[in-house]
């Protein structure tokens, strides 16, 4: 795992890893998925995942383990980086940011679970909504 250079001084020392890097980490490494509930149509297929929306992290710090590696993830790696920096400030160690989030995870062919009832559709972010199955009879 080679950490990327961070231009943000608050993120100094934060390791950005790929999904493939995650596969080579200790078996008890936890993925902390910080996506909001409406983005959970695709889920990381891993035995050690904690789901906590990014805006609820500070209220739930006691639920986040600090005794093993922690990979913070979201859709594309932006909000997860902010959460990873926050966790470092709060004294958490062995924090990693999943670069590219679940988008790159899936693109790299890593395992996911899909909940068809939660997938979103829309031509832009402002129009996203849960897909509805077409039940029309012809």
pLDDT per position as a tens digit, 33-89: 999 988 888 999 999 999 999 999 999 999 999 999 999 999 999 999 999 999 999
* Domains, the chain, ordered by start: 9-130 (3.40.250.10)
Report yes or no: 4 and 99 within 8 Å, Cβ to Cβ: yes
Residue pair 97/17 in contact by the 8 Å Cβ criterion = yes
More confident residue, 6 or 24: 24
CB 74 within 8 A of CB 45: no
Place of tokens 């996203």: 128
Cβ(42)–Cβ(113) under 8 Å?
yes
Beta-strand pair 112-114/120-121:
unpaired
Read off the pLDDT of each residue in 105-120 and give the average, rounded to a whole number: 82
- Confidence category of residue 135, pLDDT binned at 50, 70, 90: very low
Residue 15 CB neighbour total at 10 angstroms: 18
> In angstroms, rounded to a whole number, what is the distance separating the alpha carbons of residues 43 and 112?
5
């Amino acid at each position: 795992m080679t950490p990327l250079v961070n231009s943000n001084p608050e993120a100094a020392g934060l390791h950005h890893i790929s999904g493939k890097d995650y596969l080579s980490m200790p078996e008890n490494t936890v993925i902390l998925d910080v996506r909001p509930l409406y983005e959970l149509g695709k889920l990381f297929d891993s035995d050690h995942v904690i789901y906590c929306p990014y805006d609820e992290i500070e209220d739930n710090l006691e639920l986040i383990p600090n005794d093993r590696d922690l990979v913070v993830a979201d859709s594309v790696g932006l909000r997860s980086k902010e959460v990873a920096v926050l966790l470092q400030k709060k004294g958490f160690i062995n924090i990693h940011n999943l670069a590219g989030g679940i988008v790159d995870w899936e693109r790299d062919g890593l395992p996911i679970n899909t909940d068809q009832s939660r997938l979103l559709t829309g031509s832009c972010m402002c129009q996203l909504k849960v897909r509805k199955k077409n039940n029309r009879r012809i």
